[in-house]
Structure 1
Amino acid sequence: MAYEIKQNVVDPVRVGFDWVERRLGRPANRYEEGSIEVQQEENFHYRPLWDPEHEIFDRSYTALDVGDPYNFLDPRQYYYYTYNQARNKAAEHQQSTLSYAEEFNAFASLPEDLIKVFAETLTPLRHLEYGMQMVMVQMSAFAWGTTIEQAAIYSGFDHLGNAQQLSKLALQFENGVEILDEAKTQWMEREALQPLRRYIEDVLVLSDWGEQFVAVSAVLSPLMYPSLYRGLETQGVGLGEGLSMSTLRYFYDWYLDDQKWVRSFISHLLSVENSSNQEFLRTAFEKWSPGAELALRTLLDDLPDSLDSSEMMAQGISELQVVEELIGGRV
């Protein structure tokens, strides 16, 4: 007996949400379909008992005017699938780099001063990453507009991932568990880390998520990741330790990816008509950049003499100036 296999294509009754298609004038892609006009705007059940002046979802949690939040779209088009796909690829690449370095015993052969950098400078920064993660979670919780909220929460997930990657670097050393045990003490007590710790703790208690966004994503990140991680990689290559120091590339590559939504969001805020957003951004930038610069200089100046801290800091300052120009210059 012969069987004939046929294929029938059943056209769906609808291919997307009508209100998204009306806004875009075309069918939405998967990112747009799951992101646009999802923010709850009415029929709230109660006001927060801890803040009865606000609705549970409220635009006034920040002095920023987000305008139409769906005029901002993450240029990376991250939703659950694409985000996890991208991060899995980055994690696999980092694991491959670590394995290659381990194969050649790169970490064990590092000079003592660079081992100290990993143990006493980089590993304690996993606690800074935890703090930055909490800030971005707060932004996601109190922001208005799903495209803004999801970009912030993915950034928060990333900071948690960065903390885990720093822990994995510590475990490349024979006494890695001891390094991890000491990292909290270093973070709490080491003098060179205290300005950075004070900075993130001050940001954590802010009530305006817009100011938190500026302090972490528009000021601290542009200073820290290029100066510290890119800077250490560059310096390490110059010292002939490129194999081990190449494991720091993960953090700089992440920074470049994260800044895509950060700078796009800043551009959106500046485009909101009849708003005081530019003044807000300038004021917040002016308020937080001196503290961030002091914290990074203090940390970098405490690095071994074999590393050129001034050259490293210059990379961060250069990136910060890019953000400053985007906002519109100093007041």
Structure 2
Amino acid sequence: MQYELKTQVIEPLRQTFTPLIERYGDKPATRYQEGTIGLQPTENFHYRPTWDSERELYDPDYSALKLTDPYSYTDPRQYYYTPYVTNRAAMHEAFGKTLDYVTDHGLLERTPENWQQLIAQVIIPLRHFESGAQMLYSNACRFSYGATIAQCCSYESFDRIGNAQLISRVGIALGGETASVLKSAKALWMDAPHLQGLREVEEKLLVEQDWAVGVIGLDVVDELLDALVYRHLDEEAILFGAGAYSLLAQHIGTWWSEHRKWLDPLYKEWIADEQYGATNKAAIAAAVNTWLPQALAAVEKVAAQADALAGTDSVAAVRTHAAAVAEKFRALGLEINQTVLDQPVLDQTQGA
């Protein structure tokens, strides 16, 4: 007796979940949509927070920036748990391979002494800045409204503690497998004059009541730090024989480019919102006008320390990028005050 094998197709009774059918129609949905759309709790909270009885546990009024439809914004990267952790595992593995190459060939030991000092005094303490950024984005994840935004903030918080770990690994390698460089970095973060402006700005942002203003404020600090640490100093390192730094910095620099893929579209969605666009524009502009000058003053001090150690002309690079940041926000239709950038150029001896 012979049997014939046939493929039998069983049509599903429904293609996806009700919230997705209501929004997109009864058709197959992506994993990202199934794990994101419609997940924001909206009712049956049972009680209001004792620390803020005017709001619900999940409430759009935790920020002045709102969206008429929270799901009008979606993550362009379409990250849900599996692709996110797969991507980040690959990123950390690639960094590990680069670090192994650098340590196996003794490239950090061969780096000029002034650049070793720059890495120890300017770069490694930023592990604490990244740790603070992780706390800020955890707060944004908790208080943001709409699962698509909360999800991005959650992954960003994971990324920031991951960045802190990458920087820490560089510090351990620089210290010769001891924790001495990391201990010194913490002392510098707490007491060194060139880092206190940065620490002060971040601590103020950590207690900012509006989670979105905290994100915007940190973003303008990030813009200037990225331009300094992972762009300008990367180029200078190649020119001045500190290629080991450039090899390692490229990994966080690459992460930064991806980080912008979710945050820049969020700005545009806030501004384009039919109901709240005008108030959102005013709130973003107010946040940039408040925090950009503070970010510039803080990062200039870090840049001045780099200049004092290695003659990198970093202060000028930071000021140039601050102007570019202001222009980027103006291009979105925001009123950014020119006085934001009209403060005197920092005396570079202040960073030494």
Question: Normalising TM by the smaller chain, what interval?
Answer: over 0.9
Question: Does residue 17 in structure 1 map to residue 21 in structure 2?
Answer: no
3-state SS of paired residue (2:173): coil
Write out per-residue CA displacement over residues 251-291 of structure 1, whole angstroms, 9 at most, x where no aligned residue: 11111111111111000000112321100100111000000
Contact 1:133 1:156 in 2 (8 A): yes
Q: Provide the C-alpha distance between the structure 1 equivalents of 2:195 and 2:75, rounded to a whole number of angstroms.
A: 33
Name the structure 1 match of 2:334: 328
**How has the CA–CA distance of structure 1 residues 53 and 131 changed in structure 2, closer, same or farther, with 3 Å as cutoff?**
same
Q: Deviations over 1:76-127 (max 9, x none)?
A: 1111011111111111111121112122210111111111112111111111
Q: After superposition, where does 1:17-166 map in structure 2 within 5 Å?
A: 17-25=17-25, 26-166=27-167
Cα drift, residue 180 of structure 1: 0.8
Tell me whether 300-309 or 274-283 shows the greater mean CA deviation: 300-309
Q: CA 1:3–1:104 in 2, change beyond 3 Å: closer, same or farther?
A: farther
Separation in 1, partners of 2:335, 2:177: 47
How far did residue 4 of structure 1 move? 7.3
Greater Cα shift, 305-314 or 182-191: 305-314
* Stretch of structure 1 that moved more, 254-263 or 18-27: 18-27
- Map of 2:187 onto structure 1: 185
Q: Secondary structure at the match of 1:121?
A: helix
User: How many residues of Structure 1 are paired with residues of Structure 2 in the alignment?
Assistant: 330
Answering whether residue 262 of structure 2 is matched by residue 272 of structure 1, we say no
Bigger shift: 256-265 or 48-57? 48-57
One-letter identity of the residue aligned with 2:53: P
What residue ranges of structure 2 are gaps of 5+ in the alignment?
338-352
Kept in 1: contact 2:60–2:145 (CA 8 A): yes
Shift of 1:34: 1.1
Contact preservation (8 Å) 2:296, 2:319: no
CA distance in 1, matches of 2:11, 2:102: 53
Work out whether residues 224 and 296 of structure 2, in 8 Å CA contact, stay in contact via their aligned partners in 1: yes
CA distance in 2, matches of 1:57, 1:209: 13
**Match of residue 212 from structure 2:** 210
Deviates more, 1:164-173 or 1:93-102: 93-102
Contact 1:143–1:149 (CA under 8 A) maintained in structure 2: yes
Q: Whole-Å Cα distance in 1 between the matches of residues 4 and 237 of structure 2? A: 65
CA distance, structure 2, for counterparts of residue 189 and residue 202 of structure 1: 17
**Deviation of the 1:186 alpha carbon:** 0.7
Q: Matches of 2:23 and 2:109 in 1, distance apart?
A: 58
In the aligned structure 2, how far is the partner of 1:267 from the partner of 1:210?
14
Summarize deviations over 1:184-214 as a string: whole Å, max 9, x none: 1110000000000000000011111111111
Normalising by structure 1, report the TM-score: 0.94
Q: Judge conservation of contact 1:143–1:209 (CA < 8 Å) in 2.
A: yes
Gaps spanning 5+ residues in structure 1: where?
Answer: none
Distance 1:128 1:250 in 2: 17
Calculate percent identity across the aligned residue pairs: 32
Give the distance between the partners of 2:170 and 2:96, measured in 1 at CA: 10
Between the aligned partners of 2:235 and 2:6, the Cα distance in structure 1 is: 60
Query: Displacement of 1:323 after TM fit?
Result: 3.9
CA distance in 1, matches of 2:153, 2:10: 38
- In structure 1, the partner of 2:252 is 251
CA distance in 1, matches of 2:201, 2:144: 22
- Name the CA distance, whole Å, in 2 between partners of 1:44 and 1:120: 48
Q: Residues 176 and 297 of structure 1: is their aligned pair in 2 closer, same or farther, counting only changes over 3 Å?
A: farther
What residue is the counterpart of 1:306 in the other structure?
311
- String of CA shifts for 1:278-326, please: whole Å, max 9, x gaps: 0010011100000001111111011124322145425643652324423
2:349 match: none
Preserved contact between residue 282 and residue 327 of structure 1 (Cα < 8 Å): no
Deviation of residue 6 (structure 1)? 5.8
2:287 paired with 1:281: no
CA contact (8 A) 1:222 1:319 kept: no
1:27, distance to aligned residue in structure 2 (A):
2.9
Q: Is contact 1:31–1:77 with CA below 8 Å preserved after alignment?
A: yes
The whole-number CA distance in structure 1 between the counterparts of 2:123 and 2:263 is 24
Give, as a single letter, the amino acid of the residue that structure 2 aligns with 1:287: T
Partner letter of residue 313 of structure 1? V
The alignment's TM-score, normalised by the length of structure 2, stands at: 0.88
